Structure 1
Amino acid sequence: MEPIFTHSLRLFADPSRVVVRPFHISWQGTSSRTQRLVGEVLRMSAQQARDELQEVLRDFEARHWQTRRVFMTRYDEIEAQLGLDGSKIGDEKRQLIGAYFCHEYSYAAAALMNPSVVPHYDQSGMPRGSCRILMSLRAVGEGHISSVAFREGIITSENKLKLAPEPPFATATDTHGDEDEIPQGPVTVHRHRDSTLSGTVIFPITEAQSKGLEDLRLVKFAHDDGAAEWLGTYTAYNGSAIQSELLRTRDFRAFDLVPMTGPAARNKGIALFPRKVNGKYAAIGRQDGENLYLLTSDTLTHWEEGERILEPEYPWELVQIGNCGPPIEIDEGWLLLTHGVGAMRKYAIGAALLDKDDPSRVLARTAEPLIAPASENREGYVPNVVYTCGAMKHGDSLFIPYGVADSSVAFAFVGIDTVLAAMTPAESVEPRKRASA
C-alpha cells in the first residue's frame, strides 16, 4: 500500500486549558444552600462586596474570556431561580453572586483523544477544492471526567490542513432549566452567546453522564426532505453503567442530548449512517464486545439487536473489532473504518467496504492496518493505541484525524483508491472457525 501522508501538526493534552463552569451548589445538597449563599452576599456592605469581587478578578480575569459577563450570566440564572429583584442589587454584588456559582476546571489536563470530523455548517468563502471542517475531541480532565471539545479548520485539495486559532479562553455549555434539580433524560445545552465553537466545551450534565461523555461520533445527516442535521452518538458513563446517547444540532448553538433505548443502546460505539438506507435509519455497532453488527431502526433513538456482519479475522484484530466512525458513502459502496485489537492490546485502524444497497454484505476488508502504533506514536497516557471516531471524504481522499496513545491527536490523508487497493475481497476470505454458543 502507498504510504499515508501524515500531517506534522499535533494536538496535545494541556492542563493550562481551563474553563469556567457553572457550579450547581444545590445539586450538592439542598436549595437552601443557594439561598443562604446569596443572602450572605446581599448582607455584605458595598465596600466588602467590591473588595471580594476585586480579589476574584485579580485571580481569574486574565485566565478567562469575558469573566464579568460570565458571572453576570450566571447571576441571571440564579435570579430567575430565586425570584430576586436585580434592580435593587448593584452590579458588583450581582457579579460576586455569579462568581460563587462558578468554578474553574482544567478540561484537557489528562488526555486528548478520539476525534471525529464532519464538514462545517458554514462553507461560505471557501475556494474550490477546500472545505471548512469541524472536529470533535474527547478531552479528559480532573477526576478522569470526559467532555466534548470542538476545533474548526480548513483542508485543501493539496491535503493541507490549517486549524482555526484556538481562543485563549473556553466556555462551557449549560442548561436553562431548574437550578435545584439535576437534569434527567433528554436535555438541551446551549453554547454561550459570545463564545466561538472552538472555545466551547460540552460537559456531563445528567446523572447518567456524570463521569463522562465519551467518544462522540459525528455525522452530517441528510433527512428525507433534504435538510441537514448534525448527529453524534456517544457513550454516557456514570461511574458504573454505560448507555448510548444521541447529540442533535442544526446550528451548533443548542445541542439536544437524548438517551437512546433498546438492547443495542446498552453498548458502546454505535455509529450512524449519514442517511437512511432502504427507508430505515441504519448504524454500525458492537453488541457483544467482539464483533460488528448492522443495526436498523424506524427511529433515531431506539435500536434493537442487529445482524452480525464482521468478525475478527486477522492477527492484528483477533481480540476484538469495532467501528471507527460513521460509514462513508463512496461510489463503490460504504467505506467503514474499523479498529482492531491484537496482541499486547495494541489498537490499529483498518477498513471494510459494505454493499451500498445492502450494507449487511461485506465486499472487502483490509488484511493489514492502515494506521498502527509505531515508534513515533506509541507512547502516552494509554500506550500502543491509535483510534478515530470518524473520518470524512474530501475529493478523492480520506481525511482521518486520530488519537495517539490517548495523549495527542494526529492527522492523516490517504487516497480512497489506495484504501480500496489494500483490501482483500470478502469472497476470497476463509471465515474463521468459531465454536457454536
Structure 2
Amino acid sequence: MLDEPTRAPSGAAAEPSGVVRDEQTSPIFRRLDQRLTADASRVVVRPFHLSWQASGHASSRGARLVSDIMEMDEPAVEQALVGVFHDFEQRHWQIERVFETRFDQVAAELKLDRAALSAARRQLIGAYFSHEYSFQAAALMNPSIVPHPDQSNLGPGIVRFIMSLRAVGEGHISSITFRDGLVGENGRFELSPEPRIATAATACLQIGDTDGAVAVERDRDSTLSGTVIFPVTPAQANGLEDLRLTPFVHDDGTREWIGTYTAYSGREIRSELLRTRDFRTFALVPMEGSAAVNKGMALFPRRVGGQYRMIGRQDGKNLFLLESGDLTEWSGGARLLEPRYPWEFVQIGNCGAPIELDEGWLLLTHGVGPMRKYALGAALLDKDNPLKVLARTPQPLMAAVDNEREGYVPNVVYTCGAMRLGTKLFLPYGLADSCVAFAFADISDILAHME
C-alpha cells in the first residue's frame, strides 16, 4: 500500500498559488512565492558508533559500555529507561522498537544473548547506542520530481507528484527526503502536510552478489513525506547527493522509478542507482564502469534505439551521452555539449532526466559563469538520435535574482529534475544551496528561446 493520497474533487476549480513573474532574468518561468527551508527541529534516531577499540585497552569501548549497563540492577535499568522515554518518546515513532532493533545490531557485534536480558535492559542498551540527528539542520536543496504511482481521484489536469530533496545535516552529511502533493497545468500547487516526526529507512538485505548493493525499507508507520534515506554502506558514508528521479518505462510496458545519485565516502565518489516500484522498498545499487566514477548522471526515461541512455559529465566541464545494454554498467561516451556562451564557460551539466516531447528530448542544463554564478538553460536533442543537438538556449532561462542570491552557496539556482504537465513545465529548484523554490513555464516558450 502507498500512502493515503491527497485527494482533489473531480473538476474542482483551482487558482494559481502565489505566482510571481520574474522580469529580471527572463519572462519564461513564473516563480511561486512558496519556499521550503531547512528545519533543525526535524530529527531522526540514528546509530551512535563508538570507537570499537580504544587505544591501550584490551576491550572495546562498546563492550565496556555494555558491561557498565549490565552491572546496573533491574530497578535502576527501569528508572533510567523511564527517563529516556520521558525525553524522547514523543519525538519519535515506535521508539521501543527502534531501541530493540539497535540492540540486535549491537548484540550481533558483541555476541550478546538476547534471551538472557529483560526488555528494559535491551532497550536501554539500544538507547545508549543511538542518538538524535537533525538531518536538515544545514540545508534543504536540489529537488527532483516525478508523477506519483497513484493518480486516482484527481480532477482534470491535476497530477499527484513525489518530490525528492537533498537534506544536509551535521558534518555536511547528505540524505534523501521526500514530499508529495498535487500540481496542475492551471498553476495549482499543494504540498501534503509534513509530519512532525520523521523516521529513517532501515537496511533490510544485501542484493545479489554486487558489492555494496542493499535494499532499504520505509518504516511501516511512516509516510513518504516523513521518511529519510541515510547512507548505509561505506561508499555512501558521507552522503547521498542529488538524486535525479525518472519514471522509467521498460520495454514490456512496466514502470519503475529509478534515480541516479552520487555516493560520497568522504574520500571518493561514485554514481549509484535508487530503484523502486512502490516507494516503500528501495534498492541502492552501485554502477560499474569508467563513467560511473563521476557525478551528475541522468537516465533517459526509456531505452532509445535498443540501448539504455544516460547524460553525464566525465571531464568536469562538458556533457557526454552514454549508452549501455546494462543499467548498472556505464563506460565510454560521446561528447554531447560543450560550453558555448559566457554564462556557461566554466562548465555545463544536466539538471535531471531528459523529458520526452513531440519535438525531441528536452534536456535542462546548468551553466557556471563569472563569480561561479549558476544559471539554468536547456537543449533539445533528436528523439531517435540523442547525440544530435537540435537547438540550445543562448541565454539563461533562469538565474538567481536579488532576493534569491544569499545562502550557503550564493548565486546558485539548481535542479535535479522537472516534470511535464501537458503544455507546461513544473520546476522545483534549489536556491543558494539553502532552500527550494518552485516555478511554471510554457514549454513552447522554452523552445522558442532556443536557437
How far apart, CA to CA, are the structure 1 residues paired with 2:272 and 2:436? 24
> Aligned runs of 1:325-364 on 2, under 5 Å?
325-364=352-391
Q: Does 1:4 align with 2:36?
A: no
Residue in 2 that maps onto 1:292: 319
Residue in 1 that maps onto 2:294: 267
State the Cα RMSD in Å: 2.2
Shift in Å at residue 353 of structure 1?
0.5
Partner of residue 183 from structure 2, selected from 148, 155, 159: 155
Partner of residue 41 from structure 2, selected from 2, 13, 16: 16
- Cα-to-partner distance string for 1:158-177 (whole Å, 9 max, x where unaligned): 22111111110111122236
Partner of residue 196 from structure 2, selected from 157, 160, 168: 168
Q: Does 1:100 align with 2:128?
A: yes
- Cα-to-partner distance string for 1:335-377 (whole Å, 9 max, x where unaligned): 0000000111100011110000000011111111111011011
Change (3 A) 1:78 1:240: closer
- Cα-to-partner distance string for 1:162-198 (whole Å, 9 max, x where unaligned): 11111101111222369xxxx9521222211211111
Partner of residue 220 from structure 2, selected from 165, 169, 193: 193
Residue in 2 that maps onto 1:435: none
Of stretches 35-44 and 2-11 in structure 1, the one that deviates more from structure 2 is: 35-44
Q: TM-score if structure 1 supplies the norm length?
A: 0.90
Shift in Å at residue 59 of structure 1?
2.2
Residue in 1 that maps onto 2:450: 423
Conserved? CA contact 2:294–2:314, under 8 Å: yes
How far apart, CA to CA, are the structure 2 residues paired with 1:124 and 1:87? 47
Q: Does 1:257 align with 2:284?
A: yes
> Aligned runs of 1:53-72 on 2, under 5 Å?
53-72=81-100
Shift in Å at residue 241 of structure 1?
1.5
Residue in 1 that maps onto 2:402: 375
Unmatched runs of 5 consecutive residues or more in structure 1: 425-437
How far apart, CA to CA, are the structure 2 residues paired with 1:397 and 1:344? 32
SS at 1:265's partner residue? helix
Of stretches 355-364 and 206-215 in structure 1, the one that deviates more from structure 2 is: 206-215
Residue in 2 that maps onto 1:433: none
SS at 1:382's partner residue? coil
How far apart, CA to CA, are the structure 1 residues paired with 2:419 and 2:47? 34
Q: Does 1:117 align with 2:165?
A: no
Of stretches 339-348 and 118-127 in structure 1, the one that deviates more from structure 2 is: 118-127
Shift in Å at residue 81 of structure 1?
6.5
Conserved? CA contact 1:71–1:98, under 8 Å: yes
Task: Give the residue type in structure 1 aligned to 2:239.
Answer: G
How far apart, CA to CA, are the structure 2 residues paired with 1:67 and 1:224? 43
Shift in Å at residue 418 of structure 1?
1.1
Residue in 1 that maps onto 2:165: 137
Change (3 A) 1:33 1:276: same
Shift in Å at residue 266 of structure 1?
1.3
How many residue pairs match? The answer is 420
How far apart, CA to CA, are the structure 1 residues paired with 2:386 and 2:112? 58
Partner of residue 390 from structure 1, selected from 417, 435, 442: 417
Q: TM-score if structure 2 supplies the norm length?
A: 0.88
Of stretches 66-75 and 255-264 in structure 1, the one that deviates more from structure 2 is: 66-75
Of stretches 85-94 and 135-144 in structure 1, the one that deviates more from structure 2 is: 85-94
How far apart, CA to CA, are the structure 1 residues paired with 2:417 and 2:81? 44
Conserved? CA contact 1:184–1:207, under 8 Å: no
How far apart, CA to CA, are the structure 2 residues paired with 1:202 and 1:40? 33
Of stretches 189-198 and 212-221 in structure 1, the one that deviates more from structure 2 is: 189-198
Conserved? CA contact 1:22–1:174, under 8 Å: no
How far apart, CA to CA, are the structure 2 residues paired with 1:151 and 1:160? 16
Conserved? CA contact 2:28–2:446, under 8 Å: no
Residue in 1 that maps onto 2:236: 209
Unmatched runs of 5 consecutive residues or more in structure 2: 1-25
Conserved? CA contact 2:137–2:168, under 8 Å: yes
How far apart, CA to CA, are the structure 1 residues paired with 2:306 and 2:53? 46
Change (3 A) 1:351 1:111: same
Q: Does 1:311 align with 2:338?
A: yes
Change (3 A) 1:125 1:31: farther
SS at 2:202's partner residue? coil
How far apart, CA to CA, are the structure 1 residues paired with 2:32 and 2:59? 51
